[in-house]
Chain A
Amino acid sequence: MGAARGLTDLTEREVGLFPEDEHLVPLEKGRSRRVGGWSGRRAWLVALVVAVVWALWSAGVGRRALVNPGGWTLMSRFWKAAVHPELSGAFLRTTWSATWTTIAFAVLGAALSVVIGCIGGVLTSETWWRRSRPGRAGAAHGVRPGWFAGRVLFGLPRGVHEAVWGLFLVHVLGRDPMVGVLAIAIPFGAITAKVYSELIDDSAQGPYDALRAAGAGRLSALVYAVFPRTLPDLVSYAFYRLECSVRSAVILGMIGAGGLGFQLSLSFQSLRYGEMWTLIYALVIVSALADLWGATLRRRGAPRLVRRSAAAGVVLVVASVVHLGPDLGRLVAGRTRSLLADLARDSWPPSLPAGGWAELGRQAVDTVQMSLLAIALASSLAILVAFVAARGGRTRARRLLATGARLLLLVTRAIPPPVWALLVLFVLFPGPLPGAVALGIYNFGILGRLTGEVVENLDPRPEAALRAIGAGGAQAFAYGVVPVAFARFAAYSLYRWEVAVRETVVVGVVGAGGLGRLLEQQRAAFDFNGMLGTVVALIVVSLVVDGISAWARRSLR
């Protein structure tokens, strides 16, 4: 198994502030639950349907005109430009340099988040805080103040989207690449720390305890007993972070960090669709390479491949530093300190928006509804496409179809959500719906890929057994594949829902409402107290959603 089990398990764990939910349930317990599990599943299904209908109703479906027929010409002009990308020498040079900027942001963001993850992973692991005598391990964990402080310190940054970090950081660091790098590294570092701490705790504790008992310090015990065993998983996860970083770097580019996202928003504002497509093709290529690299590591996970990838990663880090030339002096400059002090003074204490608690609550509900619609759309599409997109089709036609489906998924996740939002706005009237549809399309690209991997990694034996005893193709699929795949699909959809809640902040441009819209208004008015209040609300909403999602996943297991 080793690294091959990879992403499937890792991303399921990458959730919430509720680590206790995520430890593997012993098999017996899981089985006994499943007997009575159907009523639990049905309850969740009913809740889901009710929630989605409620969200649709709030978005105005069935109550007012939603589709704008006048916008189809603009929309079709955009799609027609796909075959006429701008290929002039000057623009190709712009695209080339922008591509490297985006890669550099992604690489440095991911690298720094791995550094933060390594430190934070150790500091938030139970292994680190456990007393040296193994016998008392269970009794001690959870009450150690250091462990608790670590959990909180590394838990909070996750609730805030990279774009929001970027908006705050720009006030302190100004126009410097470190803004983009840190905006990725802070939230991603916190997520990495959580996953790494669980990898450390999940690794067999025997060798670690033995070294500790023999008098080794905590750090050397970790380095010699835990890290070698977990290294393939650590590296494999680092590359998963790189894939996510590429997408974040594009979004951050759109809000001013530079690179492909920045060029894309400039070209869109000028309605130069040919240029947009050149940039989109560059994005698709970068995103495909990052995804391919990560997926190969997860599938094969051979130690040599892991080592070579890590070495290549280091080379990329150095190249990225040279390309971006971040001014590290700024991090410690007196001006930065005084700007930070200004920001802290201006934003403390957090305050309510105009309209008070009622307004904040209304926007929070809008945010949740938008994310629900987005994820409902994304998972329905993803489930449809996952079986088509999975590798390993038996006929040539199947394989061709699978390639086409994977390409579709690649394009949908390579185009950043704000661009989808503006495109959708051509044909849908403004409101929460275009925002939800945009997030839905983008998350469909991500979910479709993850669920496709699930299908590829499915145990083929139940289906084969059913076929062997004479079941037809459809029957074997319905009874041999669907039940197993369903749990994984549900887990991924729930996990993606948590991410979608945070992503709602980047589609505020379309009048989508929600806390992201509110944050944007407050930013335009330089209402820092209000912004901090809204960010706190965003964190609370994402904690609540994480909690519901963890609860649902547990009862679906």
Chain B
Amino acid sequence: MTLSRRRPRALVAVLALLVLAVAACGDDKPTTTAAGADGDATTTSTAAPDPNRVLKISAIPDQDPSKLTTINTAMAVYLSTALDRKVEYVPVTDYAASVSLFKTGDLDMVFFGGLTGVQARLQTPGAVLLAQRDIDDAFQTVFIANAGAKLAAVSDVKELAELKGKRFTFGSESSTSGRLMPEYFLDQAGLSSATDFSGPAGFSGSHDKTIDLVQAGTYDAGALNLQVWKKRKDAGTVDTTKVVELLVSPPYHDYHWMAGPDTDERFGAGFTARVSDALLALDYTNPTHAKLLDLYGAKKFIATSAGNYTEIEEIGRKLNLIAG
């Protein structure tokens, strides 16, 4: 009996402690926010911008995360010098998450693809296009195949009809060069990814994964970003006896940097323009800049405008990749 008489007290104590612990979260807040240098994404009031606020940059996870970290850390270092700000690279796990976190204000500027850029502007009205790489206004997709699939290299999009009845994979569902444009080119060849492949079309998740899965024979063929394909071939990390090139597609507009609509509010008047100037100022004749540009596979960054992506938006709507 003594036990059961003690239990209510133990219970009350446990519950009280739990309540205290939960309440303590509130007290913890100021310290953790400061310690984590987390900024205060939740206040968008008219208060003067915090000079110590960290600029959070990110990129759609289109390739090997360790490569993305190398590229974006280099960009963060460049921007922090050019803008005299702390800059942090925030990795994300998937394309759609980068659009969502851009909308919630957790990512200040993101290197989006063509489709994710359109989605981000629709989700976050007022978002500002900063710059694109020189290679992005004539970007291309490459179709590849497993050597064992006995598919021939072709010279015209229409000839992609040979993929009928094969196992085919895209990259991420939201990828421009790995999903949207390939789907569009397949459509021109009279194929629909929903019905004309053996089994449902795959979504490997990233361009690197597409190469690996086609090389392993999991899929007979796939489509990806030409730039990633070239880099992998140059680095010798793809077995070209097992994977062959089928077709390099016609060009279209792709990747670009974008900033949130309240960037000036958060970082001070004219900040958005300064960021875009910093990107455009990258000069290949400067060896430090050249190293950064090489990581991006580009010679320079150039201006871009929303009009460049109207076609992508139209295709996106037609293929149900943009709702509404």
Contacts and interface: CB of A to CB of B under 8 A. Distances in A.
Specify whether A and B are partners: yes
Interface of A: 60, 64, 68-71, 73-74, 111-112, 114-115, 118, 170-176, 223-224, 227-229, 231, 254-256, 262, 265-266, 269-272, 303, 307, 310-311, 314, 317-318, 321-322, 325-330, 333-336, 339, 354, 425-426, 429-431, 509-511, 513, 517, 520-530
A328 B38 CA distance: 13
Contacts of B241: none
Interface stretch (B9-17, B137-145, B248-256): B9-17
Contacts of A173: 104
Contacts of B14: 310-311, 314
Contact of B29 (A70, A329, A517): A329
B185 interface: no
A228 B205 contact: no
Nearest to B319: A525
B35, B104, B172, B199 — most chain A CB neighbours (10 Å): B104
A111 B21 CA distance: 10
Contact of B217 (A71, A229, A510, A524): A71
Kindly name the residue among B12, B21, B24, B29 whose own CB sees the greatest number of chain A CB atoms within 10 A: B21
Interface in B88-105: 90-97, 99-101, 103-105
B97 A224 contact: no
B268 interface: no
Given A270-B65, A511-B201, A526-B122, 20 more contacts: A70-B217, A71-B217, A170-B104, A223-B11, A224-B8, A256-B97, A269-B61, A269-B208, A269-B209, A271-B212, A314-B14, A321-B25, A326-B25, A336-B42, A425-B218, A430-B167, A510-B202, A511-B203, A524-B173, A526-B322
Contacts of B40: 329
B18 A525 contact: no
Interface of B: 3-5, 7-8, 10-12, 14-15, 17-18, 21-22, 24-26, 28-29, 32-33, 35-36, 38, 40-44, 61, 64-67, 90-97, 99-101, 103-107, 119, 122-123, 146, 148, 167, 169, 172-174, 198-203, 205-206, 208-209, 212-213, 216-219, 320-324
Nearest to A307: B10
B206 A269 contact: yes
B105 A521 contact: no
7 contacts: A170-B97, A228-B8, A322-B28, A325-B35, A325-B36, A525-B322, A528-B323
Nearest to B19: A115
B288 to A, nearest CB: 25
Most buried by B among A171, A173, A176: A171
A53 B92 CA distance: 40
B14 to A, nearest CB: 5
Contacts of A303: 3, 7
Given A429-B167, A511-B201, A526 B96 contact: yes
Given A111-B18, A175-B104, A327-B38, A270 B66 contact: yes
A191 to B, nearest CB: 19
Given A170-B97, A430-B200, A524-B96, A68 B217 contact: yes
A321 B36 CA distance: 13
Nearest to A225: B8
A171 B41 CA distance: 14
A318 B28 CA distance: 10
Contact of A68 (B3, B209, B218): B218
Contacts of B29: 325, 327-329
Given A426-B216, A430-B202, A511-B202, A174 B123 contact: no
A549 B11 CA distance: 35
Contacts of A334: 42, 44
Q: What does DSSP make chain A's interface, helix, strand, loop or mixed?
A: helix
Contacts of B322: 525-526
A174 B212 contact: no
Contacts of A174: 41, 100-101, 104-106
Nearest to B56: A175
A115 B105 contact: no
A398 to B, nearest CB: 38
A526 B99 contact: yes
A430 B123 contact: no
A270 B10 contact: no
Contacts of A223: 8, 11-12
A513 B200 contact: yes
Contacts of B33: 325, 327
Contacts of B17: 314
Greatest chain B CB density within 10 A among A70, A111, A114 is at A70
Contact of B93 (A68, A256, A321, A328): A256
Given A115-B22, A525-B323, A256 B203 contact: no
A114 B216 CA distance: 46
B25 A328 contact: yes
Nearest to A428: B218
Contacts of A227: 7-8, 11
Contact of A429 (B21, B61, B66, B199): B199
Given A227-B8, A328-B29, A526-B96, A511 B199 contact: yes
Given A269-B61, A303-B3, A310-B14, A254 B173 contact: no
A115 B218 contact: no
A328 B41 CA distance: 12
Contacts of B35: 325
Nearest to A223: B8
